[in-house]
């Protein structure tokens, strides 16, 4: 879909998106500072300057609000994908949209990511965290389908799942390696997916790039 055909958000829609994002960011910030058990919905609402009732218009629980940053971060990916040139190959469009999203804020801070990983591993948040990732995958699949004109939705879901897996693998590899930047690894994985993973399935005789650091297979991909 060419950029000039992208639907424009109304002022009301922009304000709702901004309010939702502010509540999600406040929920995550307070939870990191105090611990989830010490944060109430009222605390989150007060932090943003709204009522608990307004909070409940956006989220059903504080756990959902904490994990919403996973979903909200991908709004930009959806818009970037729809704005790619109409004649561009689909995999290239998806790759560029993903890389654009993850390059906006620069290289992540390892200490901050470590705190997020520890937080998301808590039982009270685990279910909502998985729901958030499922929502991201669903939105990406719907966007891919819209991009290509509504072809086989099963294949769109498969592509979205593959992209999300590549993001997760790249992130875990970055987190567990020393000095290896995130974006080049992510771009390499997306290129491999687009080409049918030739490095693994043939053409290179199974010889990995000696300059490539990889995560041990036993590392949990969460």
- Contact of 174 with 185, CB cutoff 8 Å: yes
pLDDT at 55: 97
pLDDT at 219: 47
pLDDT at 178: 75
**Residue pLDDT tens, the chain, 222 long:** 444 455 577 888 889 989 999 999 999 999 999 999 999 999 999 999 999 999 999 999 999 999 998 777 677 788 899 999 989 999 999 999 999 988 887 778 888 888 888 888 888 898 898 888 888 899 999 999 999 887 788 999 999 999 999 998 998 898 888 777 899 999 999 999 999 998 888 755 445 554 555 444 444 444
Query: The whole model's pTM is what?
Result: 0.77
Q: Which long-range contacts (CB under 8 A, 24 or more apart) does 36-45 make?
A: 36/62, 36/63, 36/66, 36/119, 36/122, 36/124, 36/125
Neighbours of 199 (CB within 10 A): 17
pLDDT at 124: 85
**Among 131, 127, 216, which residue's Cα sits nearest to residue 177?**
216
Q: Which residues have CB under 8 Å from 154's CB, separation 6+?
A: none
CA distance 215 to 170: 9
Give the DSSP letter string of 108-159.
Answer: PPHHHHHHHHHHHTSHHHHHHHHHHHHHHHHHHHHHHHHHHTS--HHHHHHH
CA distance 112 to 24: 16
- Contact of 62 with 41, CB cutoff 8 Å: yes
DSSP code of residue 83? H
- Contact of 104 with 79, CB cutoff 8 Å: no
Residue owning tokens 């199974």: 206
Alpha carbons within 13 A on the beta-carbon side of 145:
15
pLDDT at 203: 57
pLDDT at 206: 47
Domains and CATH numbers, the chain: 10-65 (1.10.10.60), 73-197 (1.10.357.10)
- Contact of 137 with 128, CB cutoff 8 Å: no
Instruction: Collapse the DSSP code of 1 into the 3-class scheme (helix H, G, I; strand E, B; otherwise coil) and give the result.
Output: coil
């Amino acid at each position: 879909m060419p950029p000039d055909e992208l639907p424009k958000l109304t002022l009301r829609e922009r304000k709702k998106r901004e309010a939702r994002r502010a509540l999600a960011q406040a929920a995550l910030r307070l939870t990191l500072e105090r611990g989830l058990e010490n944060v109430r919905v009222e605390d989150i609402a007060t932090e943003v300057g709204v009522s608990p009732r307004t909070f409940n218009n956006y989220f059903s629980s504080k756990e959902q609000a904490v994990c919403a940053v996973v979903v909200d971060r991908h709004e930009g990916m959806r818009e970037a994908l729809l704005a790619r040139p109409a004649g561009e190959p689909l995999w290239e469009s998806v790759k560029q949209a993903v890389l654009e999203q993850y390059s906006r804020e620069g290289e992540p801070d390892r200490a901050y990511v470590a705190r997020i990983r520890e937080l998301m591993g808590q039982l009270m948040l685990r279910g909502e965290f998985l729901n958030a990732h499922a929502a991201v995958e669903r939105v990406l699949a719907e966007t891919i389908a819209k991009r290509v004109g509504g072809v086989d939705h099963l294949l769109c879901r498969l592509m979205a799942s593959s992209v999300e897996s590549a993001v997760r693998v790249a992130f875990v590899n970055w987190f567990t390696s020393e000095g290896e930047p995130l974006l080049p690894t992510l771009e390499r994985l997306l290129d491999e997916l687009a080409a049918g993973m030739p490095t693994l399935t043939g053409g290179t005789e199974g010889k990995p790039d000696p300059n490539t650091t990889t995560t041990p297979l036993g590392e949990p991909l969460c």
